[in-house]
Amino acid sequence: MADKKRLSSALISVFHKDGLQPIIEKLHQLNVTLYSTGGTQKFIEDLGIPVIPVEDVTSYPSILGGRVKTLHPKVFGGILGRRGLADDVAQMEKYEIPHLDLVVVDLYPFEDTVASGANQEDIIEKIDIGGISLIRAAAKNFNDVWILPTRNAYADALEILENSNGETTLAERKKFAALAFNVSSHYDTAIFKYFSPDSLDFKHSILDKRELRYGENPHQKGAFFGNLDEIITQLHGKELSYNNLLDVDAAVNLLADFDETTVAVIKHNNACGLATRSTLLQAWHDALAADPKSAFGGVIALNRTVDVATATEINKIFCEVVIAPDFEEEALAILSSKKNRVLLQLKSYTPQKTTVRTVLNGVLVQDADHKLDTKEGLTVATKLAPSAQEIEDLLFASKLCKHTKSNTIILAKNKQLLASGTGQTSRVDALEQAIAKAKNFNFDLNGAVMASDAFFPFADCVEIAHKEGIDTVIQPGGSIKDKDTVDYCDANGMRMVLTGTRHFKH
């Protein structure tokens, strides 16, 4: 079995024609016989290059409205025939099957058609049958056949044609075969997801791959699968790291829950600062005040255009990433003064509908937690009800709870995070951590509110909070000892509302 194969013939049948002309012209220059169908055939003829219609080989026209064009033994025999197997060669000669050394295919745009909102009939017609079959056949027979399964492969293919005088190596053909099966499996996954009624069915395929410098730690390999360009534009700075992407994800998902002018400071996927204010500058100052120590090296997320005044203040600290919907020109110049600082412009972003995590020898899939606690959904559990201002603070704190590692307690006042207890093994530990942190940064806890991501199993947390001047609480409820907690609140003039919704985040 020879490693190198010289091209003598090619079958070309594509939907998109862009980028195809240089390939066709080079094949013609190399005296490669071209076979084609329909629109691709006309495209080649319009270039003044000879092409043989597939119908001349099969003796069958394109039928059923174009649904059947290449599905014929003389086409697939020409692709699947093993050149080194005498029986295959004899049968190809007997049935006058031409050898096809190169197959160039570009599938119908199924995903784009679905995304366009087209009706079901149009979508179904964009399920490619002949093309996907050609891709799989050519890839299977990579020992003898070269497959170009996507227009994204044309540049690499043209370079090979230019440098090798029409010869391909086994390694090159195998590499393109791997790409072909990647393309075909992705295509089939997209079709499955369209037909599947269950959003939790785990079939994912993403063609775009970005190699990262490393994973969570330098000894781990890492890669991002997806098209970041769809949601962010990098305006300045070094390449995003694995950990940067985790923090950016946490930041944009958190801010997606806030409509008013808000700034968040993210460190290790948790907010160490968050404030909602009438101006962006004040929101930045108050977000930073929650924990200026942890803000060092963090990700700063803003949901308004960054102005000069805010950029000037942000520039005074070291931060890895700043992400916002836009930057004033001078503000961008100020923040770009740090060579490695990553500046990201966030485009329109819709949070993922599901979350996926690897566990043991499988994966866990769940609906993403997009439920927001609302004023209308609150149940006042105590004799005293919170004021309108306290309700605003409770809902502010509850939003942050949803995005913070469990067990968590959030302390807030006047739509400002004062401190949080994050990722603790007990709710009491989370509260004590938050109180200690707030005191460390000289916050007055009198009049602050407390939010918990899950119910209080005992009354100990509200007792600790009350002793610190925190008398307004929001929690899901649902403990068999809720009455003990409510009784303590009533006996001590506290206000408590129940949401009925737990917001664990592990």
Strand order in the sheet with 102-106: 52-53, 33-36, 9-14, 102-106, 146-148
Number of residues in the chain: 506
Which residues, in sequence order, are CB contacts of 412 under 8 Å at separation 6+? 393, 396, 397, 400, 418, 448, 449, 451
Residue of 459, 445, 449, 442 lying closest to 412 (CA atoms): 449
Catalytic annotation present for 268 = yes
Given the residues 17, 99, 238, 268, select the one marked as catalytic: 268
Say how far apart CA 457 and CA 448 lie, in whole Å.
Answer: 22
Catalytic annotation present for 219 = no
Say how far apart CA 145 and CA 168 lie, in whole Å.
Answer: 9
Assess contact for 298 and 275: CB atoms under 8 A. no
Q: What is the Cα Rg of the chain in Å? A: 31
DSSP, residue by residue, 454-467: S--SSSHHHHHHHH
| Cα–Cα separations (whole angstroms), residue 398 to 127, 246, 359 | 45, 22, 28
DSSP, residue by residue, 210-271: EE-S-SSSTTS--EEES-GGGTEEEEESSPPPHHHHHHHHHHHHHHTT--SSEEEEEETTEE
One-letter amino acid for residue 6 of the chain: R
Given the residues 26, 99, 140, 186, select the one marked as catalytic: 140
* Torsion-angle region of 110 (φ positive above 0: left; ψ -120 to 50: alpha; else: beta): alpha
* Cα of 121 vs its chain's centroid, Å: 29
Catalytic residue IDs: 140, 268
